[in-house]
Amino acid sequence: MLLLGIATSGLAVYQWMELLTLRAGGATSCGINEHVNCETVWNSDFASAVHDTLGIPIAGLGLVWGLTAVGLSALYLAWAQAKRSVRPAASGLRLLALAGVVSVAVFAAASARVGVVCPTCLGTYVLVLAFAAVAWRGLPGPLLPQAGEWGDTLKWTVGIAAVAFVAMLMPGRSTPHAPKAGAFLPPPVATSSQPAGDSTPNVPPAPPPPATLDAFIASLPREQHQFLSNALAMYRAGTPKLAAFPARRLFGPVEAPVKVLEWTDSKCPHCKALVEELALIKQHAPQGSLSVEARQFPLDGACNPAIPRRGPDAPSVRCDAARAMVCLEGAKDFWELREKLFAAQAFLDTDKVMEIASSGSVARPQLESCMSAPETVGKLRQDVEYALKYNIQGTPLVLVNGREVPPSAPLIYALVLARGNANHPAFAVLPPAMTMPSGGGHEGHAHP
């Protein structure tokens, strides 16, 4: 049990270090694909709520549990060697094991809810369940504390756990929290929307102007300064390419100084984050400063010739979602339905795709007819062909003004505020650029 406690603690430390790497914009060893990805679990609403409430991430809770297991196991061995009663330590180990089993059930349910497997989390579950098996089957004496034993049991168990928890608070509070949609946006500049004394009824106040570029850069965390500097250097070094195909649907004016072109897959978590951030940027961008063009790159060989086929033909949520989005390009509520589709990503199946896509201005019979039309298949193939011109390695793929960039909301919003000028004087406060990792700093889902 001592060895299991040490192993659990070591794995928790490793996960915490990986979490710090993720928060700094780096790649983790378990961000394998959209189905096996610790990053998605660590960035989930549940994980964020735990960190916000307790002050330490879930990896920190694992370390608290592991250190408590080590402390109680060592106490048991010391008392056994001194010929003292080991009952308080044995009962404490069983109570700790029970808490571990409950935690495994809760955390596993949270992972299942987002539809992703976390390999390092599975390792922790195995260690905790093995610890519980030994505690409940291998330790001598009654399973629960007897009359008069609860006081000493709780004193040692809660005491050791409390010491471990307090020790984790400082590093826990220093660990950056999961980014929330819109967290990169600073408060807008406050101005009065109408003259003093004007009490004209039923006139909604004008939206406040966007933040200035200087204020936006100042609002970013320090680690984002370096990433923004690196991304801007990548943007400046890129060679703009002319559009291979005309846009079929565009948000914003054609002449916008910042033109975003992106390829997404409906089940890619990084794509969901990008869609959510772009929706907020569109709300905060100065009038006429941004255009967005959305194209499809479904990660399924059933409709994407660039992806290997996986088994016999079967209904594909990715292909259905891509075809549905192509068919909705002419709808007045295209952008709203697209955001609604990505918001339901964790529960997305073919039925859900059709339910969402037909919930707006396009009736389901019309949508179904379009999705099976040769023209739709041709448009989807066009999107794939277009993406392959940029040697796409994963989704999302993002171009700004014809140059490939990391799918970074702060970068896009900074360029919007700079009206597309990557050499704006406000960028002078950023640190010197460093070499970006392969793929432009985007550690998303690579696929052949």
Arithmetic mean of pLDDT, 84-106: 94
> Tens of pLDDT along 361-415?
999 999 999 999 999 999 999 999 999 999 998 889 999 999 999 999 999 999 9
Q: Say yes or no: domain 2-174 is CATH 1.10.3470.
A: no
Q: What pLDDT score does 313 carry?
A: 57
pLDDT band at 417 (very low <50, low <70, confident <90, very high): very high
- For residue 75, pLDDT over 90 is answered with yes
Q: What pLDDT score does 200 carry?
A: 45
* Short-list 8, 42, 49, 36, CA closest to 22: 42
Domains in the chain: boundaries? 2-174, 213-446
Q: What pLDDT score does 187 carry?
A: 55
pLDDT greater at residue 197 or residue 234:
234
Q: What pLDDT score does 315 carry?
A: 64
Distance of alpha carbon 308 from alpha carbon 172, whole angstroms: 42
pLDDT greater at residue 434 or residue 76:
76
- For residue 127, pLDDT over 90 is answered with yes
Q: What pLDDT score does 446 carry?
A: 42
Q: What pLDDT score does 38 carry?
A: 86
pLDDT greater at residue 180 or residue 17:
17
> Tens of pLDDT along 286-313?
999 999 999 999 999 999 999 887 655 5
Q: What pLDDT score does 12 carry?
A: 96
Helix axes 374-388, 317-327, angle to 10 degrees: 100
Distance of alpha carbon 88 from alpha carbon 150, whole angstroms: 8
Token pair recorded at residue 153: 């049991």
What's the chain's average pLDDT?
88
- For residue 176, pLDDT over 60 is answered with yes
- For residue 203, pLDDT over 70 is answered with no
Q: Give me the sign of the Cα torsion angle 169, 174, 176, 180.
A: positive
- For residue 151, pLDDT over 70 is answered with yes
Residue 229 — φ and ψ, nearest 5°? Answer: -60, -45
Arithmetic mean of pLDDT, 228-232: 95
pLDDT band at 248 (very low <50, low <70, confident <90, very high): very high
> Tens of pLDDT along 97-120?
999 999 999 999 998 888 788 999
Helix axes 2-23, 119-138, angle to 10 degrees: 160
- For residue 128, pLDDT over 90 is answered with yes
Token pair recorded at residue 10: 């070591």
Q: What pLDDT score does 374 carry?
A: 97
Q: Give me the sign of the Cα torsion angle 309, 313, 314, 317.
A: positive
- For residue 425, pLDDT over 60 is answered with yes
Half-sphere exposure of 268 (CA within 13 A, CB side): 24
* Short-list 82, 59, 430, CA closest to 230: 430
Q: Say if 2-174 and 213-446 have the same CATH topology.
A: no
pLDDT greater at residue 127 or residue 443:
127
Q: Tell me how far CA of residue 212 lies from CA of 185, 326, 346, in angstroms.
A: 11, 36, 36
Token pair recorded at residue 235: 């943007």
Distance of alpha carbon 362 from alpha carbon 357, whole angstroms: 8
- For residue 195, pLDDT over 80 is answered with no
Q: Spell out the SS3 assignment of the chain.
A: CHHHHHHHHHHHHHHHHHHHHHHCCCCCCCECCCCEEHHHHHCCHHHHHHHHHHCCCHHHHHHHHHHHHHHHHHHHHHHHHCCCCCHHHHHHHHHHHHHHHHHHHHHHHHHHHCCCECHHHHHHHHHHHHHHHHHHHHCCCCCCCCCCCHHHHHHHHHHHHHHHHHHHHHHHHHCCCCCCCCCCCCCCCCCCCCCCCCCCCCCCCCCCCCCCHHHHHHHCCHHHHHHHHHHHHHHHHCCCCCCCCCCCCEECCCCCCEEEEEEECCCCHHHHHHHHHHHHHHHHCCCCCEEEEEEECCCCCCCCCCCCCCCCCCCCHHHHHHHHHHHCCCCCCHHHHHHHHHHCHHHCCHHHHHHHHCCCCCCHHHHHHHHCCHHHHHHHHHHHHHHHCCCCCEECEEEECCEEECCCHHHHHHHHHCCCCCCCHHHHHCCCCCCCCCCCCCCCEECC
pLDDT greater at residue 282 or residue 195:
282
Distance of alpha carbon 153 from alpha carbon 72, whole angstroms: 10
- For residue 25, pLDDT over 90 is answered with no
- For residue 197, pLDDT over 70 is answered with no
pLDDT band at 316 (very low <50, low <70, confident <90, very high): confident
pTM over 0.75: no
Q: What pLDDT score does 24 carry?
A: 65
pLDDT band at 59 (very low <50, low <70, confident <90, very high): very high
* CATH architecture designation of domain 213-446: 3-Layer(aba) Sandwich (3.40)
Nearest-5° Cα angle at 92, 91 to 93: 90
